[in-house]
Amino acid sequence: MVRALSVVFQLLLIALPVVAGVLYLVWQTARLGVEGVGQAMFVLAAMPSVLLNSLVLAVAAPLVACYLALWMAPSLLRRPRIQQVLAPLLAVPHVAFAVGMLLLFSPSGWLLRVFEQLTGWWPLPPQGWPLPEKSLFSLTLVLVLKELPFLLLMIAAQLKQLPSQAWLVQAQSYGYSQQQAWWRVLVPELLQRLTLPMAAVVIYSVSVVDIPLLLGNNLQPVLAQQVFAWSFQFAPEQQANALVGAWLLLAVSGLLLLLNRRHARCYAFCVRNKPLRPSTKAQKLRPVPRFAWYALAGLAVAVVLVLLVQSLATQWFYPALWPSQLSVSLWQQEWPFILAPAQASLSFALLSALFGTVAAVVVLEQQCQRGKQQRQWLLLVALFMPQVPLVLGWQLLLGSTQGPALWVLWAHTVYTFPYAYLVLHGAYMGFNRHWLVKAQSLGYSARQAWWRVLLPMLKQPLLAAYAVAFAVSIAQYVPTQWLGQGQVSSLTTEAVSVASGGDWRIGSLYALLQMLLPLLVFLGAGGLKRKSYAEHA
């Protein structure tokens, strides 16, 4: 049964969409012919900086985020509830977060307005500010800050599964500080379990388009941004560039995923070769990271606040700290038009997150039963294919099939499933199946044991998977807009089209609405958990 279901899910959610996408790419590339491909390769080869920028972004952002998260994570051991502060950051859509960051830290941002009010040095926004509106650095910084909470959430879910306190105590009994025990005992294990979440982060950094469009330098773009630009230019050679660029993106993603798989082993190797001195002081895990949590929470609050104030401002120009006038008129004006998109978003997200999580559980269970887990990257292919050719491939496959909303739901599930899988994978694979054996020895059937022991014990990671999948569904633009054929507008299709005009007052309004639903789900998922069985164990 599990096996059959797993096969069905993998066919529906991986094979079908990916094959359709790849076939479309192959078909279009074949139409170009050798000469067309050669020319496009020549064009790409002449822009090495594009590839280089992509590599820098996709290597630097995930690594920095990863080690920042590991540095902050010890707080989770002492105060697991601190995880709650992540909810708002996890829920803010990426673009909304980027806009919030611009409003706070760009040369005309709030921070500099405060300086200007205090000193009067910059009647106009300063030039040469280290966080300009468009640069690889600003882009990397925003990605790091947005990926950090996701990785912390993943670490929190893994820590629940590890006897971390016992390990730390044991290490201390050998005379090592908790600090040493954390980096040498827990972190290698965590990194191993973070391989897949890191893969998601890496893939996201390679393929993200909307944030580079907003924050990236556009003379020296990243590859995904350039491919996206080409795919909406209609000259044949630009279309060829877009296609070859899409293949290159696939190759880069594959390469980085290979490197990512070595990451944990590489770290373990380095740690092992670093001489270890038993600590003389009974050094506790340093509380330093605490302020980082507050800073992160503060940042989330600041982003939400600045978006809120922006949506209420009739006008708000540098160097004013506060809009001269606040008004709810924009909210009143948009309110009647919000209900239908909000309902569509909610429906797609609730259902596709549910289907995605269920599918992930089924596939994981089958992998556990079979006892091997090969070709995991196959499950993730949909994530690193550029969306434009992928969705065109789906449309080709679907033809003019009616009932677009159902196809939108399917398309969302194609994305929620791999994310749910990623989030769940470590905890599910790390689950000690002896519990099941014990339960059976106490008279439960295999099925009962699974439902009444395994599921409750994995409640926390399951909820995290659902919440992440929910947020992923909320953020989908291209699949919703194209497969929905204009009959389904969601909060995100509205938000993206509105934002294209650059009027951040109305843009902020839609961004806030867009984050509201995932925020509720993240808070709910965090609030429900209280204690998992592993904490008793």
Partner 1 sequence: MRRFIRLRLLALAVLLTAPYASAQAGQVHFYGWGGSPQVSTYMRWVQQELRAEGIQLRHNKVADIAEVVKQITAGHSNADLIWINGENFHALKAAGALQNIVDDIAAVAALNPQLQWQHDFGEPVTGLEVPWGVGQFNLLARAPVFSEESITAADLLQAAQRFPGRLSYPKPPDFHGTTFLKSLLLALQPEQAQVFQQPVQQVNAAALTAPLWRFLTELHPHLWQQGRSFPASAGEQVNYLAQGQLVMAVSFNPNDYKTLVRTGRLPTGIQRHRFRGGAITNTHYLAIPKGAKNPEMAKQVIEFLLSERAQLRKADPNRWGDPSVLAEAAEPLLPAAQEFHASWQRYLEQQWSARFQ
What is the dihedral sign for C-alpha 158, 162, 165, 171?
negative
Structure tokens given for 148 = 């950090």
Q: Which of 108, 207, 310, 387 binds partner 1 (CB under 8 A)?
A: 108
CB 312, min distance to partner 1, A = 12
Residue 459 beta carbon to partner 1: minimum distance, rounded to whole angstroms: 22
Please state the closest distance from residue 125 (CB atom) to partner 1, in A. Answer: 5
Based on the shown chain and the rule CB under 8 A, indicate whether residue 134 belongs to the binding site for partner 1: yes
Q: Between residues 232 and 451, which has the closer beta carbon with respect to partner 1?
A: 232
Q: Does 315 bind partner 1 (CB under 8 A)?
A: yes
Quick one: which segment of 14-22, 245-253, 344-352, 357-365 binds partner 1 (CB under 8 A)? 344-352
Looking at the Cβ atoms of 120 and 502, the one nearer to partner 1 is 502
Pick one of 117, 165, 170, 333: the residue that binds partner 1 (CB under 8 A). 333
Tokens representing 120 are 């009067």
| Nearer CB in complex with partner 1: 183/318 | 318
Binding to partner 1 by residue 350, rule CB under 8 A?
A: yes
Distance between CA atoms of 230 and 242, rounded to whole angstroms? 5
Asked whether position 493 contacts partner 1 by CB under 8 A, the answer is yes
* 159, two tokens: 């820590």
Least distance to partner 1, CB of residue 13, Å: 19
Compute the Cα dihedral for 83, 191, 90, 113 and give only its sign. positive
Q: Of 470, 92, 522, 68, which is closest to residue 303 (Cα–Cα)?
A: 92
C-beta of residue 308 within 8 angstroms of C-beta of residue 328: no
The site map against partner 1 for 454-483 (x = CB under 8 A) is -----------------------x---xx-
69 binds partner 1 (CB under 8 A): no
Q: Which of 402, 434, 442, 536 binds partner 1 (CB under 8 A)?
A: 402
Return the residue of 59, 184, 489, 533 that touches partner 1, per CB under 8 A. 489
Of 500, 528, 535, 537, the residue at the interface with partner 1 (CB under 8 A) is 500
Q: Which is nearer to partner 1, 207 or 387 (CB)?
A: 387
Q: Considering beta carbons, is residue 182 or 482 the nearer one to partner 1?
A: 482
Helix (H, G, I), strand (E, B) or coil at 22: helix
Does 486 bind partner 1 (CB under 8 A)? Our answer is yes
Instruction: Give DSSP secondary structure letters for 235-262.
Output: SHHHHHHHHHHHHHHHHHHHHHHHHHHH
Instruction: State which amino acid sits at residue 165.
Output: Q
Nearest to 202 by CA among 224, 229, 228: 224
Residue of 189, 191, 165, 188 whose CA lies nearest to 178? 165
Q: Are 415 and 382 in contact (CB under 8 A)?
A: yes
Count residues near partner 1 (CB under 8 A): 65
Nearer to partner 1, 42 or 317 (CB): 317
Residues between 217 and 236 with contacts to partner 1, criterion CB under 8 A: 217-220, 229, 231-235
- Binder among 436, 506, 517, 521 for partner 1 (CB under 8 A): 506
Closest CA to 384 of 238, 246, 240: 246
Q: C-alpha 109: how far from its chain's center? A: 26
Q: CB 399 → partner 1: shortest distance, Å?
A: 9
Q: Least CB distance from residue 381 to partner 1, whole Å?
A: 22
Query: Taking the alpha carbons of 205, 207, 211, 215 in that order, is the dihedral positive or negative?
Result: positive
Q: Which of 88, 96, 94, 89 is nearest to 509 (CA)?
A: 96
When the beta carbons of 74 and 107 are compared against partner 1, the nearer one is 107
Assess 89 for contact with partner 1 (CB under 8 A). no
Residue 107 interacting with partner 1 (CB under 8 A): yes
* 401 interacts with partner 1 by CB under 8 A: no
Which C-beta is closer to partner 1: that of 127 or that of 173? 127
Taking contact as CB under 8 A, which single stretch among the options 74-82, 274-282, 366-374, 498-506 is the one that binds partner 1? Answer: 498-506
Going from the C-alpha of 191 to that of each of 65, 83, 175, 187, 195, the distances in angstroms are 13, 19, 24, 6, 6
Candidates 176, 348, 466, 470; binder of partner 1 (CB under 8 A) is 348
For residues 458 and 429, what is the distance between their CA atoms, to the nearest angstrom?
11
Minimum distance of partner 1 from residue 46's CB (angstroms): 10
For tokens 């660029």, the residue is 245
Torsional class of 202: left (φ above 0), alpha (ψ -120 to 50), beta (otherwise):
alpha
Q: Which residues of 134-152 are buried (b: 16+ CB within 10 A; e: fewer)?
A: bebebbbbbbbbbbbbbbb
Please give the residues from 234 up to 253 whose contact with partner 1 meets the rule CB under 8 A: 234-235
The correct pick among 192, 283, 347, 440 for binding partner 1 (CB under 8 A) is 347
Cα separation of the two ends of the chain: 31
Interface pick for partner 1 out of 120, 275, 371, 501 (rule CB under 8 A): 501
Closest by Cα among 171, 162, 152, 163 to 285: 171
Where does this chain bind partner 1 (CB under 8 A)? Answer: 107-108, 124-125, 127, 132-135, 213-214, 217-220, 229, 231-235, 313-315, 317-318, 333, 337, 343-344, 346-348, 350-351, 388, 392, 395-396, 402-403, 405-406, 409, 477, 481-482, 485-489, 493-494, 496-506
